[in-house]
Protein backbone atom coordinates (compact mmCIF):
# COMPACT_ATOMS: atom_id res chain seq x y z
CA UNK A 1 0.00 0.00 0.00
CA UNK A 2 2.74 2.40 1.01
CA UNK A 3 4.77 1.46 -2.06
CA UNK A 4 1.75 2.14 -4.31
CA UNK A 5 1.27 5.59 -2.77
CA UNK A 6 4.93 6.47 -3.25
CA UNK A 7 4.80 5.37 -6.87
CA UNK A 8 1.69 7.49 -7.44
CA UNK A 9 3.37 10.53 -5.84
CA UNK A 10 6.44 10.03 -8.02
CA UNK A 11 4.33 9.91 -11.18
CA UNK A 12 2.43 13.04 -10.11
CA UNK A 13 5.67 14.97 -9.45
CA UNK A 14 7.05 13.86 -12.82
CA UNK A 15 3.93 15.01 -14.63
CA UNK A 16 3.99 18.37 -12.82
CA UNK A 17 7.64 18.87 -13.85
CA UNK A 18 6.80 18.32 -17.51
CA UNK A 19 3.91 20.76 -17.22
CA UNK A 20 6.09 23.44 -15.60
CA UNK A 21 9.06 23.00 -17.95
CA UNK A 22 7.68 25.27 -20.75
CA UNK A 23 6.95 27.97 -18.17
CA UNK A 24 10.50 27.77 -16.79
CA UNK A 25 12.04 27.92 -20.27
CA UNK A 26 9.78 30.82 -21.20
CA UNK A 27 10.87 32.75 -18.13
CA UNK A 28 14.52 32.17 -19.01
CA UNK A 29 13.98 33.58 -22.50
CA UNK A 30 12.70 36.81 -20.95
CA UNK A 31 16.07 37.57 -19.32
CA UNK A 32 17.76 40.60 -20.96
CA UNK A 33 20.56 39.77 -23.36
CA UNK A 34 23.96 41.33 -22.66
CA UNK A 35 24.83 44.19 -24.99
CA UNK A 36 27.74 43.55 -27.39
CA UNK A 37 30.99 45.34 -26.55
CA UNK A 38 33.55 46.57 -29.09
CA UNK A 39 37.17 46.78 -27.95
CA UNK A 40 39.47 49.47 -29.33
CA UNK A 41 43.20 50.01 -29.36
CA UNK A 42 44.95 53.29 -30.05
CA UNK A 43 45.89 53.67 -33.73
CA UNK A 44 49.51 52.65 -34.43
CA UNK A 45 51.79 55.70 -34.25
CA UNK A 46 52.66 57.29 -37.58
CA UNK A 47 55.81 59.36 -37.21
CA UNK A 48 57.35 61.59 -39.85
CA UNK A 49 60.85 60.70 -41.06
CA UNK A 50 63.42 62.90 -39.23
CA UNK A 51 65.01 65.56 -41.45
CA UNK A 52 68.39 64.92 -39.81
CA UNK A 53 69.97 61.85 -38.20
CA UNK A 54 68.74 61.20 -34.67
CA UNK A 55 71.46 61.02 -32.02
CA UNK A 56 70.89 57.79 -30.13
CA UNK A 57 71.48 57.98 -26.38
CA UNK A 58 73.16 54.86 -25.01
CA UNK A 59 70.86 54.61 -22.01
CA UNK A 60 67.97 52.46 -20.85
CA UNK A 61 64.71 54.25 -20.12
CA UNK A 62 62.04 52.58 -18.04
CA UNK A 63 58.47 53.76 -18.71
CA UNK A 64 56.10 53.19 -15.80
CA UNK A 65 52.35 52.92 -15.91
CA UNK A 66 50.99 56.32 -14.90
CA UNK A 67 49.10 56.83 -11.69
CA UNK A 68 45.37 57.21 -12.27
CA UNK A 69 42.15 57.19 -10.30
CA UNK A 70 38.46 56.51 -10.75
CA UNK A 71 37.23 55.71 -14.24
CA UNK A 72 40.72 56.11 -15.73
CA UNK A 73 41.94 53.07 -13.80
CA UNK A 74 39.89 50.68 -15.95
CA UNK A 75 39.30 50.21 -19.67
CA UNK A 76 36.17 52.34 -20.12
CA UNK A 77 36.37 55.12 -22.73
CA UNK A 78 35.60 58.15 -20.60
CA UNK A 79 33.49 61.10 -21.73
CA UNK A 80 32.20 64.25 -20.04
CA UNK A 81 28.95 65.08 -21.87
CA UNK A 82 28.03 68.12 -19.75
CA UNK A 83 28.49 69.88 -16.41
CA UNK A 84 31.48 67.81 -15.25
CA UNK A 85 29.41 64.62 -15.37
CA UNK A 86 31.97 61.87 -15.95
CA UNK A 87 30.50 59.01 -17.96
CA UNK A 88 31.62 56.38 -20.50
CA UNK A 89 30.70 55.38 -24.03
CA UNK A 90 28.22 52.50 -24.04
CA UNK A 91 29.26 49.30 -25.77
CA UNK A 92 32.89 50.41 -26.18
CA UNK A 93 36.05 49.56 -24.22
CA UNK A 94 39.76 50.03 -24.58
CA UNK A 95 41.62 46.80 -25.31
CA UNK A 96 43.62 47.30 -22.09
CA UNK A 97 43.34 49.42 -18.98
CA UNK A 98 44.06 53.10 -19.61
CA UNK A 99 47.41 53.13 -17.69
CA UNK A 100 48.71 50.13 -19.66
CA UNK A 101 47.36 51.54 -22.93
CA UNK A 102 49.07 54.89 -22.32
CA UNK A 103 52.40 53.30 -21.30
CA UNK A 104 52.56 50.83 -24.18
CA UNK A 105 51.74 53.53 -26.74
CA UNK A 106 54.59 55.69 -25.45
CA UNK A 107 57.03 52.78 -25.75
CA UNK A 108 55.86 51.82 -29.24
CA UNK A 109 56.10 55.42 -30.42
CA UNK A 110 59.56 56.07 -28.99
CA UNK A 111 61.09 52.89 -30.35
CA UNK A 112 60.64 54.16 -33.91
CA UNK A 113 62.83 57.30 -34.05
CA UNK A 114 65.67 55.61 -32.16
CA UNK A 115 66.53 58.54 -29.89
CA UNK A 116 66.98 56.20 -26.91
CA UNK A 117 68.87 52.93 -27.25
CA UNK A 118 66.76 50.79 -24.91
CA UNK A 119 63.18 51.39 -23.73
CA UNK A 120 61.58 49.00 -21.27
CA UNK A 121 58.40 48.91 -19.20
CA UNK A 122 57.89 48.62 -15.47
CA UNK A 123 56.81 45.00 -16.00
CA UNK A 124 60.43 44.06 -16.83
CA UNK A 125 62.82 43.45 -13.94
CA UNK A 126 65.78 45.15 -15.64
CA UNK A 127 68.07 47.98 -14.62
CA UNK A 128 67.61 51.43 -16.13
CA UNK A 129 69.54 54.69 -16.02
CA UNK A 130 66.45 56.88 -16.15
CA UNK A 131 62.79 56.30 -15.32
CA UNK A 132 59.62 58.03 -16.49
CA UNK A 133 56.82 58.25 -13.95
CA UNK A 134 53.77 60.44 -13.72
CA UNK A 135 50.08 60.93 -13.18
CA UNK A 136 47.51 60.79 -15.94
CA UNK A 137 45.09 63.58 -15.01
CA UNK A 138 42.86 63.38 -18.07
CA UNK A 139 42.29 60.86 -20.82
CA UNK A 140 38.76 61.53 -21.96
CA UNK A 141 36.43 63.24 -24.39
CA UNK A 142 34.65 66.40 -23.29
CA UNK A 143 32.12 68.58 -25.06
CA UNK A 144 32.99 72.20 -25.73
CA UNK A 145 30.29 74.36 -27.29
CA UNK A 146 28.43 71.19 -28.20
CA UNK A 147 31.35 69.52 -29.99
CA UNK A 148 33.54 66.64 -28.71
CA UNK A 149 37.20 67.24 -27.97
CA UNK A 150 39.71 64.61 -26.83
CA UNK A 151 41.79 65.80 -23.87
CA UNK A 152 44.96 64.24 -22.42
CA UNK A 153 46.81 65.70 -19.42
CA UNK A 154 49.95 64.04 -18.05
CA UNK A 155 52.15 65.21 -15.17
CA UNK A 156 55.54 63.70 -16.02
CA UNK A 157 58.47 62.98 -13.71
CA UNK A 158 61.95 61.84 -14.67
CA UNK A 159 63.57 59.91 -11.84
CA UNK A 160 67.07 58.54 -11.30
CA UNK A 161 66.29 55.00 -10.10
CA UNK A 162 69.74 54.65 -8.55
CA UNK A 163 69.20 57.19 -5.77
CA UNK A 164 65.44 57.73 -6.26
CA UNK A 165 66.09 61.39 -7.03
CA UNK A 166 63.71 63.54 -9.07
CA UNK A 167 65.61 64.77 -12.11
CA UNK A 168 62.90 66.86 -13.80
CA UNK A 169 59.14 67.29 -13.94
CA UNK A 170 56.72 68.89 -16.35
CA UNK A 171 53.00 68.97 -17.16
CA UNK A 172 51.89 68.04 -20.68
CA UNK A 173 48.47 68.64 -22.23
CA UNK A 174 47.12 67.97 -25.71
CA UNK A 175 43.72 68.12 -27.40
CA UNK A 176 42.33 66.78 -30.67
CA UNK A 177 38.93 67.19 -32.30
CA UNK A 178 37.22 64.09 -33.74
CA UNK A 179 35.68 64.34 -37.22
CA UNK A 180 32.36 63.17 -35.76
CA UNK A 181 31.04 62.16 -32.35
CA UNK A 182 31.03 58.46 -33.32
CA UNK A 183 33.28 56.22 -31.22
CA UNK A 184 35.63 55.14 -34.07
CA UNK A 185 36.33 58.79 -34.89
CA UNK A 186 36.81 59.57 -31.20
CA UNK A 187 39.36 56.74 -30.95
CA UNK A 188 41.20 58.16 -33.99
CA UNK A 189 41.34 61.54 -32.25
CA UNK A 190 42.78 59.86 -29.15
CA UNK A 191 45.54 58.53 -31.38
CA UNK A 192 46.29 62.01 -32.74
CA UNK A 193 46.41 63.55 -29.26
CA UNK A 194 48.54 60.69 -27.90
CA UNK A 195 51.02 60.99 -30.79
CA UNK A 196 51.44 64.71 -30.15
CA UNK A 197 51.88 64.15 -26.43
CA UNK A 198 54.41 61.34 -27.03
CA UNK A 199 56.49 63.56 -29.31
CA UNK A 200 56.56 66.42 -26.79
CA UNK A 201 57.50 64.12 -23.90
CA UNK A 202 60.30 62.47 -25.90
CA UNK A 203 61.77 65.85 -26.87
CA UNK A 204 61.69 66.86 -23.21
CA UNK A 205 63.40 63.64 -22.09
CA UNK A 206 66.17 63.99 -24.70
CA UNK A 207 66.74 67.65 -23.79
CA UNK A 208 66.91 66.73 -20.10
CA UNK A 209 69.45 63.99 -20.79
CA UNK A 210 71.56 66.33 -22.92
CA UNK A 211 71.50 68.95 -20.17
CA UNK A 212 72.67 66.37 -17.59
CA UNK A 213 75.55 65.28 -19.85
CA UNK A 214 76.81 68.86 -20.13
CA UNK A 215 77.18 69.25 -16.38
pLDDT in tens, 66-117: 999 999 999 999 999 988 889 999 999 999 999 999 999 999 999 876 689 8
Maximum alpha-carbon separation in the chain: 105
Within 10 A of 211 (CB to CB), how many other CB atoms are there?
11
Task: CATH number for 56-214: choose from 3.40.50.300, 3.40.50.10610, 3.30.70.20, 3.30.420.130.
Answer: 3.40.50.10610
What are the backbone angles phi and psi of residue 24, rounded to the nearest 5°?
-65, -45
Query: Nearest-CA neighbor of 197 among 69, 67, 93, 110?
Result: 110
Judge whether 183 and 190 are in contact, CB under 8 Å: no
Give kind and range of the element (H or E) at residue 152. Answer: strand 147-160
Our CA angle for 117, 120, 123, nearest 5°, is: 170
Judge whether 42 and 105 are in contact, CB under 8 Å: yes
How confident is the model at residue 75, as a pLDDT? 97
- The mean pLDDT values, 10 residues at a time, for the chain of 215 residues are 49 50 47 78 73 72 96 96 90 98 96 85 92 98 96 97 94 98 97 96 93 76
Handedness of CA 180, 183, 185, 191 (dihedral sign): positive
Report d(CA 28, CA 15) in Å as an integer.
21
Q: How far is CA 65 from the centre of its chain?
A: 10
Amino acid sequence: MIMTQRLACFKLAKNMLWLLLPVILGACSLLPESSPVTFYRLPPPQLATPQKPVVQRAVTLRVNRPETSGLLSGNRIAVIPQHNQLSAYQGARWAASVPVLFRDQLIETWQQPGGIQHIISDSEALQAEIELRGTLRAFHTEYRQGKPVVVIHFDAQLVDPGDRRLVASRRFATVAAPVTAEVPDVVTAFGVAQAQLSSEILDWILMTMESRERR
